[in-house]
């Protein structure tokens, strides 16, 4: 029996390899693929000489192993109890934030002096399961010369995203039940083809890893996976292969992270305009795989509007369109299988993306509204008139106050005085209630004249809804904060505060009801689950569309006195998501589904819809024996389940679970 | 959501009975005028959008929903938009309340004077008031009082004013508007008027529902209406109407409010103002039209003693926690919220269940006086009882009622004889005691009467008495049905008894509060109660009586006896007398004269059969089960009868078994 299946297996693999090779040969008919053989080396020359990405192979050398972002940048309360932000990388770095402590203690009932919940200082490699290695695979892998590692810190780093439960587990030193056994760093598309091929051959799982900023649990390894798991780290595929100024597109390797991509394009006078809040760390492939959305989508579009062409390695072979026409009517757009596939169908290796000349002029702005209702009405009107600036975001009162708490120390008395005057004008003269008012932040882009014209139009609309222009500074600070805000969760975790964010999209007429009901639901659920302190619930409208808006929630609470804060947190978040769906919100606007939200997938897209996705997945793995399809995942340590086995299963040899990215804090 | 914390499963015995406070006590001690003019500053809903009654009207007419329907009506009827708009605003004008604190103060003054004269106590449960105060701040609140008397809504507003709570706006029947000045005054004290029927009138429905919803969403005031739809003439709860309940729940289904809290309120009168009026009405004397002069004539009631009133504000019921797991609100997200839509099936059944639930909660917290027990006993002994026997049996029945979870108001530390005699004194219009023999009062014998008049007088006193017995029916109804079922069933096997139970349950579900879907649950409850009172044992083989069972079971059977007889009579009438031409309108008088004939001939001893309420309920049950059908011929609705089915119903109700199987098959 065994030998029988062995031989058929071998036969099958041989056939498959032939098919893949045939696929490659066929492509030689179009011009570009002539480069395949040399691609790996050619790219460097093609994109302006040696190009070192920000992300080294050993990410833990620059990045925190148990928290967000760079190791050198973090919030802390110094000995005087004042908050400061360390490092040199951000505008806020090295600054003192005098009002943060008071806000923090008042909001959460936390105590900076008394109640600390410090993290385990370092990774304990002993707590890790030993790698489950597949000798045959390794042998082939070594032969290719693609770099790889079995080291504990490399493996743990790629075993998680940035969900609360993941970070919490790391901080507690608990680690994970199952982590990848091998990490590989392909250098180019062909390397990925080889890896996937070998994985198929040797029955090994592959989990693509891009920026590692997932907040959907997509990177978690199924605890009872018995096959060897390979984490395919795309960070070394970070080159711009070519740039076409006639058509304003660029061919880019999918492992490149947002900040590198923008920097490289800027050097040549271009940009993509795609700026998710996680763009420092998230990767192009991840954006594609999660249907990412950028802050400036009003001008540049979301990722699905930006992608012109893509190359994807699947277990069945490489998949790409035969031309780069700007729009096609050739059946359903196959790109849309990949956009949002979250790594379940294949590895995105190269993408042709639209580029734009860097805008001549940029201007920030802000508007204060007497209350959230007025603000939403204004945003709705702006969307109706289709005159939204590059970015327009409306923060609720809680977030406005939070923003205030993050104001750096002002050096001059004069600035202090002006601030006071402003406050007086708004609250006393204009009669805005400081516990009701909210702020919209704006970013305009384009040529100077147009920007100024546009600005006036938007402020005029705002005035109709009682909005008062509140200056450039406030606006700019709002956007700077989006990059550092993710660091704040780590600060909270030091003092018994857990925090997370989640998002949705919702039709205009339901925005207010949804925001109110979700906040109220969170507050009630916390109370019922024994959370001793009032939770922080805050939301902002971050994107406007013709037919609705994207709403982003922050949710945090002090967990002192709770036995299992993560579980409580998850139950509350679960209830909040139920509430969102009941109020007409979507399962996700840009974070994706992952394992965190897979249980709602059926409800969201119907049985038939799910079946359609499944059949695509089956097609890509159709030559696998049937019995292997029933692979089940159960996850004892985490209560929510693996994203749609429907979407993500692990067929015989390949578990493609891409999660390069999350567009955090959009 | 932990529904348990918000809505606890009913368990009559575990329910903590709250302390009552007599609100008249203070009134008797202090100035009424000062009370009427005191500072009134109620707590308000936290999400309140402050607005005046007039702004409210504007908001309603400008709402998407009303605008949409105006458009549609205009398209369909070909009338100009502004004409339809005008129509809408006339409807609203006719409907809307004009809540004014000055009028409320006037009522506070006048009612205090009246209440102090006719009532001994008005007792209100303090915990309920506190819970209500809390609820009003957190969520839109809907007050759902029981409805036994015109007094109900004046009383409700009076109590809320007394406790400095937000005054409710009250859905009242249009008939009140006929009362000239009073109608307007009621309007100014918060009543809004709705037509009794507006079946097909889209515009009316739109304006009406939007009006209610706008007040609810804005948190303008608690909304109050009567689930039973109208005053119960018989003092048993009426099967609930769900139209308005559906309207007040919709803002929750559509996500416009986080939650809606329903507060059941049980108002129990020791003696109802309309007592004999109701009995006459049930016997076919038409109800007097509401008029101001009528009210003035009725002022003779001021000279009588109507005992005390108990008002119990129940635990607020969160619609959100009730709907948890039943209603998928996301289904409401696929259609714009302002489009009028028929409620979905699952919603309809949820609203229906909730309505039954609330009515049962009302029933459970009705405060029962010793007299209702005495009335039940007297009705089973129409020729009268010895006072000592009555006292003894009343005490026994009190034990049984309490065992079944009745909420009794039995004076502490008073000897039973005194309790009984003071009850008899209060109800001296209904009952007389001569030489230690207690019996129902029958008319004034000195006036010469025809046999029919005498019968009529007798019926008035029986029906009046029955209206007190009816107040305790909800305590006994499930065990009573079971007792009859045990009696009727072939054997004591559980499933046979259940079949009989289920048949009776279905037949009587227009008569009593028996929620159609709850048969099994109620059967279990009935078994539990009978076992608990020691009347039966449930063994493996089935349900059997014990040696102690006789008095209990025969009392319970006796309770239902007149209903069984009444339903049988209706079957018999339809079978024997109903020609094909019998119209729906002729039905009640025809049954009545049929029954009168039988009683006069000495073939029937049951006077309750003469009650039009019972006759209508019986017909409704027969229509529901298909034994009778309505056929519309020309403008007349006639009744078409299935004699076979009626025959077997009649037999089964009478406890004759042979045809039962066939009946059940048809059910």
Could you read off the pLDDT of A518-560 as tens digits, one per residue? Answer: 999 999 999 999 999 999 999 999 999 999 999 999 999 999 9
pLDDT higher than threshold 90 for residue B286: no
Residue A513, chain B, CB below 8 Å: the answer is yes
Q: Which secondary-structure segment (H or E) carries A199?
A: helix A189-202
Show the tokens assigned to B584. 């729906």
Terminal Cα-to-Cα distance of chain B (whole angstroms): 39
pLDDT-derived band at B201, boundaries 50, 70, 90 = confident
Q: What is the mean pLDDT of residues A607-633?
A: 67
Q: Decide if A582 and B258 are in contact by the 8 Å CB cutoff.
A: no
pLDDT of residue B291: 62
Strand B223-224 versus strand B169-173 pairing type: parallel
pLDDT higher than threshold 50 for residue B496: yes
pLDDT-derived band at A86, boundaries 50, 70, 90 = very high
What does the mean pLDDT of chain B come to? Answer: 86
**φ/ψ (deg, to 5) at B264:** -70, 135
For the annotated binding site of A for FAD, the residues are 208-214, 290-293, 342-348
Beta carbons within 10 angstroms of residue A191's beta carbon: 24
Could you tell me which residue, B556 or A20, shows the higher pLDDT?
Answer: B556
Q: Which residues of A are annotated as catalytic?
A: 552
Q: Decide if A513 and B336 are in contact by the 8 Å CB cutoff.
A: no
Q: What three-state secondary structure class fits B317?
A: strand
pLDDT higher than threshold 80 for residue A659: no
pLDDT of residue A629: 32
Chain B residues whose CB is inside 8 A of the A517 CB are: 255, 258
Q: Decide if A583 and B2 are in contact by the 8 Å CB cutoff.
A: no
Q: Which of A248, A163, A253, A146 is nearest to A199 (CA)?
A: A146
Chain A residues whose CB is inside 8 A of the B5 CB are: 528
pLDDT tens, position by position, B12-64? 433 445 688 898 888 888 888 888 888 888 888 887 777 888 889 999 999 99
Distance CA B125, CA B163 (A): 11
Chain B residues whose CB is inside 8 A of the A373 CB are: none
The closest CB to that of B329, out of A516, A528, A582, belongs to: A582
* H-only helix segments in A60-185: 100-108, 135-144, 152-157, 164-171
pLDDT of residue A586: 96
Chain A residues whose CB is inside 8 A of the B333 CB are: 507, 510, 582-584
The closest CB to that of A581, out of B2, B330, B337, belongs to: B330
Cα–Cα distance list, A29 to A308, A335, B170, B543, B560 (Å): 21, 22, 81, 87, 93
Q: What is the mean pLDDT of residues B479-501?
A: 89
Residue A527, chain B, CB below 8 Å: the answer is no
Find the residue in A nearest to B338 (Cα). Answer: A509
Chain B residues whose CB is inside 8 A of the A516 CB are: 258
Domain boundaries, chain B: 49-364, 371-441, 474-666
Show the tokens assigned to A316. 């069945």
pLDDT-derived band at A41, boundaries 50, 70, 90 = very low
Distance CA B587, CA B573 (A): 10
B549-576 and B370-380 are packed helices; what angle lies between their axes, rounded to 10 degrees? Answer: 60
pLDDT tens, position by position, B73-113? 999 999 999 999 999 999 999 898 888 888 889 888 988 99
pLDDT tens, position by position, B156-200? 999 999 999 999 999 987 776 667 777 888 888 888 988 877 777
pLDDT of residue A30: 41
pLDDT of residue B639: 87
pLDDT tens, position by position, A424-480? 777 777 788 888 999 999 999 999 999 999 999 999 999 999 999 988 888 888 887
- Do residues B513 and B355 make contact, with C-beta atoms less than 8 angstroms apart? no
pLDDT higher than threshold 60 for residue B288: no
Site from B6, B327, B333 to mutate, A interface, most A CB atoms within 10 angstroms: B333
- Do residues A508 and A380 make contact, with C-beta atoms less than 8 angstroms apart? yes
Q: Which of A133-142, A280-289, A406-415, A481-490 has the lowest mean pLDDT?
A: A406-415
pLDDT higher than threshold 70 for residue A36: no
What is the nearest CA distance from A525 to chain B, expressed in angstroms? 7
pLDDT higher than threshold 50 for residue A644: no
Per-residue H/E/C for B250-307? HHHHCCCCCCCEEEEEEEEECCCCCHHHHHHHHCCCCCCCCCHHHHHHHHHHHHCCCC
What is the nearest CA distance from A537 to chain B, expressed in angstroms? 16
pLDDT of residue B305: 82
Show the tokens assigned to B232. 């119960």
Q: What is the mean pLDDT of residues B426-448?
A: 78
The closest CB to that of A584, out of B2, B5, B330, belongs to: B330
Distance CA B585, CA B587 (A): 5
Q: Decide if A603 and B336 are in contact by the 8 Å CB cutoff.
A: no
pLDDT-derived band at A328, boundaries 50, 70, 90 = very high
Whole-prediction pTM: 0.86
What is the nearest CA distance from A379 to chain B, expressed in angstroms? 20
Q: Which of A261-270, B109-118, B300-309, B598-607 has the lowest mean pLDDT?
A: B300-309
A 566-605 residues with CB < 8 A to B? 575, 581-584, 603
Residue A518, chain B, CB below 8 Å: the answer is no
pLDDT-derived band at B11, boundaries 50, 70, 90 = very low
Does the CA dihedral A94-A100-A105-A110 come out positive or negative?
A: negative
Chain B residues whose CB is inside 8 A of the A520 CB are: 258
Show the tokens assigned to A548. 């609705």
pLDDT of residue A660: 39
Q: Decide if A525 and B329 are in contact by the 8 Å CB cutoff.
A: no
Show the tokens assigned to B276. 């004999």
Q: What is the DSSP letter of A426?
A: I
Distance CA A43, CA A241 (A): 5
pLDDT tens, position by position, B504-543? 999 999 999 998 889 999 999 999 999 988 888 887 778 8
The closest CB to that of B255, out of A514, A525, A528, belongs to: A514
Chain A residues whose CB is inside 8 A of the B250 CB are: none
pLDDT of residue A11: 66
Please list the residues that pair with A438 across neighbouring strands: A369
Strand B141-145 versus strand B261-269 pairing type: parallel
pLDDT higher than threshold 50 for residue B275: yes
pLDDT of residue B606: 85
Look at the block and give the residue holding tokens 């003779």. B300
Question: Which residues, at least 6 apart from A188, have a Cβ–Cβ distance to it below 8 Å?
Answer: A39, A40, A43, A237, A253, A349
Q: What is the mean pLDDT of residues B262-275?
A: 90
Q: Decide if B255 and A521 are in contact by the 8 Å CB cutoff.
A: no
- Percentage of residues in chain B with pLDDT exceeding 70? 90
What does the mean pLDDT of chain A come to? Answer: 85
Distance CA B478, CA B455 (A): 32
Q: Which secondary-structure segment (H or E) carries B462?
A: helix B451-488
What is the nearest CA distance from B390 to chain A, expressed in angstroms? 52
Distance CA B423, CA B390 (A): 12
The closest CB to that of A582, out of B256, B330, B336, belongs to: B330
pLDDT of residue B177: 67
The closest CB to that of A509, out of B1, B2, B337, belongs to: B337
Q: What is the mean pLDDT of residues A604-615?
A: 94
Terminal Cα-to-Cα distance of chain A (whole angstroms): 55
ipTM confidence: 0.85
pLDDT-derived band at A31, boundaries 50, 70, 90 = very low
The CATH number of B49-364, from 2.40.50.140, 3.40.1130.10, 3.40.140.80, 3.40.50.1100, is: 3.40.1130.10
Could you tell me which residue, A643 or A259, shows the higher pLDDT?
Answer: A259
Going across the sheet that includes B437-440, the strands are: B385-386, B437-440, B431-434
A189-202 and A2-27 are packed helices; what angle lies between their axes, rounded to 10 degrees? Answer: 160
Site from B318, B329, B331, B336 to mutate, A interface, most A CB atoms within 10 angstroms: B329
Q: Decide if A525 and B1 are in contact by the 8 Å CB cutoff.
A: yes
pLDDT tens, position by position, A43-73? 444 444 445 678 899 999 999 999 999 999 9
Residue B411, chain A, CB below 8 Å: the answer is no
Chain B residues whose CB is inside 8 A of the A507 CB are: 333
Please calculate the CA angle B261-B264-B266 and round it to the nearest 5 degrees.
Answer: 160
Find the residue in B nearest to A523 (Cα). Answer: B1
Q: Which of B620, B627, B561, B631 is nearest to B588 (CA)?
A: B620
pLDDT-derived band at B350, boundaries 50, 70, 90 = very high
Q: What is the mean pLDDT of residues A323-332?
A: 93
Q: Decide if A517 and B329 are in contact by the 8 Å CB cutoff.
A: no
Q: What is the mean pLDDT of residues B378-396?
A: 91
Beta carbons within 10 angstroms of residue A530's beta carbon: 10
What is the nearest CA distance from B566 to chain A, expressed in angstroms? 49
């Amino acid at each position: 029996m065994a030998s029988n299946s062995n031989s058929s297996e071998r036969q099958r693999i041989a056939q498959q390899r032939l098919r893949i090779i045939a696929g490659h040969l066929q492509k030689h008919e179009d011009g570009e693929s002539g480069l395949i053989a040399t691609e790996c080396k050619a790219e460097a020359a093609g994109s302006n000489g040696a190009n070192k990405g920000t992300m080294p192979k050993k990410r833990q050398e620059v990045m925190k192993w148990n928290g967000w972002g760079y190791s050198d940048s973090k919030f802390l309360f110094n000995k005087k109890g004042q908050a400061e932000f360390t490092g040199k990388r951000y505008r806020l770095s090295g600054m003192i934030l005098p009002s943060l402590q008071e806000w923090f203690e008042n909001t959460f009932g936390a105590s900076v002096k008394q109640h600390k919940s410090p993290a385990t200082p370092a990774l304990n490699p002993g707590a890790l399961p030993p790698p489950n290695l597949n000798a045959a695979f390794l042998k082939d892998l070594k032969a290719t010369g693609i770099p790889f590692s079995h080291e504990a810190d490399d493996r743990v780093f790629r075993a998680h995203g940035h969900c609360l439960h993941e970070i919490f587990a790391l901080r507690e030193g608990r680690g994970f039940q199952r982590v990848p056994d091998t990490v590989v760093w392909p250098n180019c598309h062909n390397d990925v083809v080889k890896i996937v091929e070998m994985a198929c051959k040797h029955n090994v799982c592959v989990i693509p890893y891009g920026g590692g900023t997932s907040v959907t649990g997509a990177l978690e390894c199924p605890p009872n996976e018995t096959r060897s798991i390979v984490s395919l780290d795309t960070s070394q595929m970070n080159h711009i292969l070519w740039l076409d100024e006639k058509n304003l597109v660029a061919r880019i390797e999918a492992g490149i992270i947002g900040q590198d991509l923008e920097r490289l394009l800027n050097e040549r006078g271009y940009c993509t305009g795609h700026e998710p809040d996680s763009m420092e760390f998230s990767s192009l492939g991840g954006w594609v795989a999660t249907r990412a959305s950028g802050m400036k989508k009003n001008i540049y579009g979301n990722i699905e509007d930006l992608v012109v062409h893509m190359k994807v390695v699947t277990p069945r072979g490489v998949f790409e369109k035969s031309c780069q026409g700007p729009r096609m009517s050739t059946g359903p757009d196959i790109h849309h299988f990949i956009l949002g596939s979250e790594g379940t169908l294949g590895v995105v290796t190269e993408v042709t993306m639209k580029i734009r000349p860097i805008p001549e002029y940029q201007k920030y702005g802000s508007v204060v509204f007497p209350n959230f209702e007025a603000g939403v009405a204004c945003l709705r009107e702006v969307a109706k008139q289709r005159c939204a600036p590059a970015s327009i975001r409306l923060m609720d009162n809680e977030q406005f106050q939070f923003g205030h708490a993050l104001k750096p120390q002002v050096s001059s008395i004069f600035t202090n005085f002006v601030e006071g005057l402003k406050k007086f004008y708004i609250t006393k003269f204009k009669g805005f209630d400081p516990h009701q008012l909210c702020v919209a932040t704006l970013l305009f882009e384009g040529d100077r004249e147009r920007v100024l014209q546009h600005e006036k139009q938007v402020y005029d609309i705002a005035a109709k809804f009682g909005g008062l222009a509140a200056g450039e500074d406030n606006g700019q600070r709002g956007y700077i904060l989006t990059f550092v805000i993710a660091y704040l969760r780590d600060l909270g975790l030091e003092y018994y505060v857990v925090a997370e964010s989640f998002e949705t999209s919702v039709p205009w007429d339901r925005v207010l009801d949804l925001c109110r009901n979700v906040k109220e639901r969170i507050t009630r659920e916390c109370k019922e689950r024994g959370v001793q302190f009032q939770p922080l619930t805050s939301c902002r409208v971050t994107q406007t569309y013709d037919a609705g808006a994207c709403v982003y929630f922050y949710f945090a609470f002090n967990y002192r006195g709770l036995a299992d804060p993560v579980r409580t947190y998850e139950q509350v978040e679960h209830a909040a998501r139920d509430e969102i769906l009941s109020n007409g919100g979507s399962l996700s606007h840009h974070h994706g589904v992952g394992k965190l939200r897979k249980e709602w997938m059926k409800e969201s897209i119907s049985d038939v819809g799910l079946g359609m996705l499944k059949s695509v997945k089956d097609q890509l793995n159709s030559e696998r024996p049937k019995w292997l399809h029933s692979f089940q995942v159960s996850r004892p340590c985490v209560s929510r389940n693996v994203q749609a086995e429907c979407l993500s299963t692990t067929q015989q040899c390949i578990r493609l679970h891409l999660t390069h990215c999350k567009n955090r804090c959009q | 959501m932990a529904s348990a914390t918000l809505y606890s499963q009913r368990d009559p015995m575990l329910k903590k009975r709250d302390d009552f406070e007599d609100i008249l006590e203070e009134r008797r001690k202090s100035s009424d005028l000062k009370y009427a003019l005191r500072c009134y500053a109620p707590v308000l809903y936290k999400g309140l959008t402050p607005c005046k009654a007039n702004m409210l009207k504007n908001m309603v007419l400008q709402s998407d929903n009303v605008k949409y329907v105006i458009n549609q009506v205009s398209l369909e009827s070909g009338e100009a938009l502004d004409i339809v708009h005008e129509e809408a605003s006339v409807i609203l004008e006719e409907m809307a309340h004009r809540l004014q604190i000055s009028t409320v103060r006037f009522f506070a003054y006048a009612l205090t004077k009246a209440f102090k004269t006719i009532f001994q106590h008005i007792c209100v449960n303090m915990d309920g008031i506190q819970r209500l105060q809390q609820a009003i701040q957190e969520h839109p609140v809907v007050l759902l009082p029981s409805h036994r008397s015109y007094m109900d809504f004046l009383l409700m507003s009076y109590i809320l004013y007394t406790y400095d709570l937000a005054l409710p706006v009250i859905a009242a029947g249009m008939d009140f508007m006929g009362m000239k000045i009073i109608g307007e005054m009621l309007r100014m004290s918060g009543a809004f008027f709705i037509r009794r029927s507006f079946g097909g009138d889209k515009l009316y429905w739109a304006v009406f529902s939007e009006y209610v919803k706008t007040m609810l969403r804005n948190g303008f005031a608690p909304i109050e209406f009567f689930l039973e739809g109208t005053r119960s003439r018989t003092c048993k709860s009426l099967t609930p109407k769900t139209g308005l309940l559906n309207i007040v729940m919709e803002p929750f289904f559509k996500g416009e409010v986080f939650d809606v809290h329903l507060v059941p309120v049980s108002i129990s009168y020791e003696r109802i103002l309309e007592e004999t009026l109701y009995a006459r009405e049930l016997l076919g004397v038409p109800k007097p039209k509401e008029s101001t002069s009528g009210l003035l004539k009725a002022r003779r009631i001021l000279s009588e003693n109507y005992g005390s009133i108990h008002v119990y504000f129940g635990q607020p019921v969160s619609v959100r926690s009730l709907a948890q797991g039943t209603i998928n609100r996301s289904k409401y997200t696929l259609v714009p919220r302002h489009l009028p839509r028929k409620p979905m099936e699952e919603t309809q059944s949820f609203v229906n269940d909730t309505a039954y639930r609330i009515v049962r909660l009302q029933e459970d917290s009705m405060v029962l006086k010793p007299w209702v027990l005495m009335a039940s006993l007297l009705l089973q002994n129409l020729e009268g009882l010895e006072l000592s026997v009555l006292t003894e049996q009343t005490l026994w029945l009190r034990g049984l009622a309490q065992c079944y979870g009745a909420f009794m108001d039995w004076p502490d530390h008073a000897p039973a004889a005194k309790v009984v005699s003071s009850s008899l004194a209060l109800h001296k219009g209904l009952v007389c005691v001569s030489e230690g023999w207690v019996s129902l009062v029958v008319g004034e014998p000195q006036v010469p009467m025809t046999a029919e008049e005498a019968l009529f007088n007798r019926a008035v006193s029986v029906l009046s008495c029955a209206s007190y017995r009816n107040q305790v029916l909800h305590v006994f109804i499930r065990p009573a049905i079971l007792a009859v079922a045990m009696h009727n069933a072939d054997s004591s096997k559980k499933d046979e008894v259940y079949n009989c139970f289920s048949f009776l349950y279905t037949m009587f579900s227009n008569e009593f509060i028996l929620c159609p879907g709850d048969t099994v649950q109620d059967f279990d409850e009935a078994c539990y109660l009978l076992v608990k009172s020691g009347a039966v044992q449930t063994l493996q083989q089935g349900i059997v009586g014990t040696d102690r069972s006789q008095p209990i079971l025969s009392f319970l059977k006796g309770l239902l006896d007149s209903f069984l007889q009444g339903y049988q009579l209706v079957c018999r009438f339809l079978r024997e007398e109903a020609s094909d031409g019998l119209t729906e309108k002729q039905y009640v008088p025809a049954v009545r004269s049929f029954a009168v004939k039988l009683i006069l001939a000495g073939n029937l001893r049951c006077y309750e059969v003469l009650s039009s309420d019972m006759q209508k309920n019986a017909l409704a049950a027969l229509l529901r089960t298909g034994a009778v059908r309505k056929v519309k011929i020309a403008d007349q609705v006639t009744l078409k009868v299935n004699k076979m089915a009626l025959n077997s119903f009649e037999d089964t109700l009478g406890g004759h078994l042979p045809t039962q199987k066939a009946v059940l098959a048809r059910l």
